[in-house]
Structure 1
Amino acid sequence: MSRRPGRVRRAASAALLSLLLVAGCDTGGAEDAGGGQPAASGAAEVPGEIVLASGRDVTGRGGIRQQLITEWNRQQEAKGVAYRARLVELPGSADQQRSQLLGALQSGSAEYDVVNLDVTWVPEFAAAGLVQPLPDRLVDEDVIKSVAETARWGGKLYAAPFNSDVGLLFYRRDYLTSAGVTRPDLGKDAGWPVVQQLIGVLDAARNRLPAAYAKGWTSQLDASYEGLTVNGVEAFASAADGFSLTDKEGRYAGSVAELQAGLDELRNRTQAAYTLPDAVHSDEADTLTDFAAGRTAFLRHWPYAYRTLHQSLSAEQLGVAPLPGKAVLGGQNLAVARGSQRTAAALQLVAFLTGKESERCLLDAGFAATRVSAYEDGALTCTTAKPAGQAAASPTGERTDRMPRDGNGRPAYARGTLLPALENAVQRPRTPLYGAFSQTFAGQLARLQGGTPPSDAQLAADLDRQLKRALPSH
């Protein structure tokens, strides 16, 4: 099977993804989770706009993030408060957005009051003094413990978890049924050997599958961005339970033996016999496109794919399970810029956006919520967006939200699959030098994708040496 050129793949992926993604729900009301006059601060507050800089909202144009900000503004207006919030979506990839935020905050060229940081950026922005320490009350016991840990650095709270993320395994139930699998639902403890065995069954029954089917599974293995790093960390963490590449101070903590075990696990997962060849050039959009088109039966992806894929696949066709082994934690956290002239008002906005009802709204819209109550509190509902469980409709009346929901209006997989996955997820290395780590790590792992890859022993030794150069070590 020939590989499609990168630009053509990206364009095709973007086109199909834009058709799959749907906008969030309409705005209604919401409880006051931090509105009203800001608390007094050390310096006089400057009335005006609170500018929140963020990456793209995966729930679509006019999505749930904007709806929550619109609701906060409505509440401020009703109380006669002179503050309004405005969302600025940054263009480009995550790496480009990070560079934009770093440049803007370091130079003071952009008047951002609140910044939505990827969880891996928090140590870097905190150590550089670009964001302010926050009051501990913003992250209480309701926040999922593993998620709460992403918001701290050096013993201080620098951010409030806004929306989380975790690796999940999506799969085609209908393909497994067509191949003769009598129990096409993966259990919660299904490991990679089970997945690989099922791929073998699918390949043997290829004549009973759609012509589009090419290989068993795909993931984001492109080394030019964060995808290969994420897959690599998941494999390394799965190979040695409790293993971390950095300690709590951000120093390199690996060993050649541990790296070799991780490389062996990654090599096993990405064997050519199981993996779509295009995976080595694929990002999230590419893999989502390939899976939705039926080219693969298994897909490693993030929670937003649950809603997106259900726009074209039914509940009978699509299944989702915890990722075998360890899954990486992702997501974004809200931080207050050091140079903000509206710190107290910005804190009020952050408290609202990360409060219980807002988190329930984020969950209903397709994000992974950061609070346990969003998953388990039956009395908690979202009134900011269209009532949970009601499908959004296009101007022509066509139903556009086909995501299965439970009796309380949550995504059907939220309590049984998504919440446990978040609770058991592992973090990527926490270090102010994360960018250097990721570039080094992915650059070495990419050698596995070449025509003459090195042995695990050789690559482990090289990786150990390079990581010691990129990060401080003991």
Structure 2
Amino acid sequence: MGWFRSVSRGLLVVAVLLAGCAGGARSPEAVTGAGAAGGRGPLTFVTAGDLTDYLAPLVAEWNAGRPAEPVSLVELPDSADETRAQMLSELRSGSSRFDVLNIDVAWTSEFAAAGLIAPLDRERFELAEFLPPVVETATFRGRLYAVPYVTNAGLLYYRKDLLDAAAERPPRTWAELARLARTVAPRHGVGGYAGQFLPYEGLTVNVTEAIQSAGGAVLHEEGARVAVDSDAARAALSFLAGGVREGWIPAEALRFKEEESKAAFEEGRLLFLRNWPYVYADAARPGSKVAGRFEAAPLPGPYGPGTSVLGGSNLAVSARSLHPATAADFLAYLTSERVQRQVLTRGSLPPVRASLYTDPELVTAHPYLPILRESVLAAVPRPKSARYDQVSLAVQAVAQDVLALRCSPEEGVRRLTRELAAIPPLPAR
């Protein structure tokens, strides 16, 4: 899932538990940041594990300048499912313990529809300075419910040395990728292509990208209409299943998440890899067998460059926060140009501010930024739905059977259409 990736390392856990329970639901009025009685005071900021330890210094800087409104950082496990479950449990209990939440972009609609996060005042934030597609991930039913904080788009990593030896260029279409994976990869004893094909959120992302690259969609109208019964969906599943059947997608790729697929590429076992931008810095480090021998390109599609889904995270304010005015200020701080620069340089995470992608100093240090900018600008959010968790599980289950060659792409599309249509609407609040 990009920001919520699985990485095997110890977590810094700042365990700060602030007791308290709101006496009732907050007003649906948008959080503006304007001072009001009870609107200012200490905050608790909850996030998945900070894998690069960049957040604590940012919080410390805020606290030094706002001693009357300090922020306490709570880090949950870096597993996306566990983080989401703990956040939902706390919010649904009626607790006011969490004020600001760093949530995966795919959860914004679900949290908003359930009334767990408060709408925000657009005028309070410099949204015009952000890459335009990222703002769409923070809206639901026409209102802003979060502020984009980190973005992400899938990239195609490729062995430049092997393509150069074959006098080939990186593929721009599925047909070119399949041809190179079938012909160039075997000459060097490496696998052709892999993504994240284990049945988890990563599989939903890979399948959704393929469908969108072919011009289709999983859902329309924020989940109100199932759209997956299309030639685009059949073409997407046929492309992936064909790769497995023909062998240019290795069988082991059906067990890959982000980290397993990254390791296979860094160990020199793949010609092509679909993954997030964080792989670039990791694969370029000393010790990687592909350091200095790879590059990144936009994802291919059936007729030309494809369409990634947007990954990343958004910042939201709990609907039961006792200090929403301070929370809005904190969101503005974390999305300021200066802090966003540190999100990239210290956190190794793609920022949402457009100007940073053309900054000469940053591009020199992070050569993938121009390609990532191109990919983000062409990307679209994952299917918006108040029942996104069930949508994702349905996509995973069907795609797993198609990729395992247990059912045909045509059968998979029919089954997924039925399963998505059967997901019940969210109960009225």
TM-score range for the pair, normalised by the shorter chain length: 0.7 to 0.9
> 281, 287, 293: which one pairs with 1:317?
293
Q: Which of 408, 413, 417 is matched with 1:460 structurally?
A: 413
Corresponding residue of 2:329 = 348
Specify the code of the residue in structure 1 equivalent to 2:94.
G
Aligned counterparts of 2:39 and 2:7: Cα–Cα separation in 1: 42
Indicate whether 1:134 and 2:128 are aligned: no
Q: Distance in 2 between matches of 1:159 and 1:195?
A: 37
Unaligned stretches of 5+ residues in structure 2: 1-5, 12-31, 301-305
- 1:72-87 equivalence runs, <5 A: 72-76=62-66, 81-87=67-73
1:105 aligns with 2:58: no
Counterpart of 1:220 (choices 189, 196, 205) is 196
- Alpha-carbon distance in structure 1 between the residues aligned to 2:148 and 2:94: 24
Kindly state the Cα deviation for residue 85 of structure 1 after the two structures are TM-superposed: 1.4
1:10 counterpart residue number: none
Q: 1:458 to 1:47 in 2, by over 3 A?
A: closer
1:4-15 to 2 correspondences below 5 Å: none
- Which amino acid counterpart does residue 62 of structure 2 have in structure 1? W
Give the counterpart letter for 1:322 in structure 2. P
Change (3 A) 1:472 1:132: closer
Tell me which amino acid in the other structure corresponds to 1:361. Q
The Cα shift of 1:454 comes to 1.8
TM norm structure 2: 0.84
Deviation at 1:326, TM superposition (A): 1.6
Deviates more, 1:359-368 or 1:301-310: 359-368
Aligned counterparts, 1:159-178, within 5 A: 159-177=146-164
User: Which residue type is aligned with residue 384 of structure 2?
Assistant: R
The whole-number CA distance in structure 1 between the counterparts of 2:291 and 2:266 is 13
Per mean C-alpha deviation after superposition, the further-off stretch among 457-466 and 427-436 is 457-466
Matched, 1:424 2:378: yes
Higher deviation after alignment, 452-461 or 124-133:
452-461
The runs of at least 4 aligned residues of structure 1 exceeding 6 Å deviation read none
Q: Unaligned 5+ residue runs, structure 1?
A: 1-12, 22-37, 207-212, 379-387, 390-404
Q: Counterparts of 2:237 and 2:33 in 1: how far apart (Å)?
A: 51
Q: Is the 8 A contact 2:36 2:325 kept in 1?
A: no
Worse-matched range after superposition: 255-264 or 109-118: 255-264
Deviations 1:85-119 (A, max 9, x none): 12211115211211110110111346111001111
1:215 maps to amino acid: G
The number of equivalent residue pairs is 391
1:57 aligns with 2:15: no
AA aligned opposite 2:267: A
Per the TM alignment, residue 218 of structure 1 is displaced from its structure 2 partner at its CA by 1.6
Q: Which residue does 2:17 correspond to in 1?
A: none
Whether the aligned pair in 2 keeps the contact of 1:192 and 1:269 (CA below 8 Å) is: no
Provide, for residues 102-149 of structure 1, a one-character-per-residue CA deviation record: whole Å limited to 9, x for no partner. Answer: 110111346111001111110111111111111102252111111010
Q: 1:3-402 alignment to 2 at 5 Å?
A: 18=9, 40-45=34-39, 47-48=41-42, 50-58=43-51, 60=52, 62-63=53-54, 65-76=55-66, 81-109=67-95, 111-137=97-123, 138-177=125-164, 180-182=165-167, 186=170, 190-206=172-188, 213-223=189-199, 225-239=200-214, 241=215, 243-258=216-231, 259-312=233-286, 313=288, 316-324=292-300, 325-365=306-346, 366-376=348-358
Cα distance, 1:279–1:149 mapped onto 2, change above 3 Å: same
In structure 1, C-alpha distance between the alignment counterparts of 2:226 and 2:153, rounded to whole Å? 24
Any conservation in 2 of the 1:329–1:426 contact (CA below 8 Å)? yes
Aligned sequence identity (%): 32
Q: CA RMSD in A?
A: 2.5
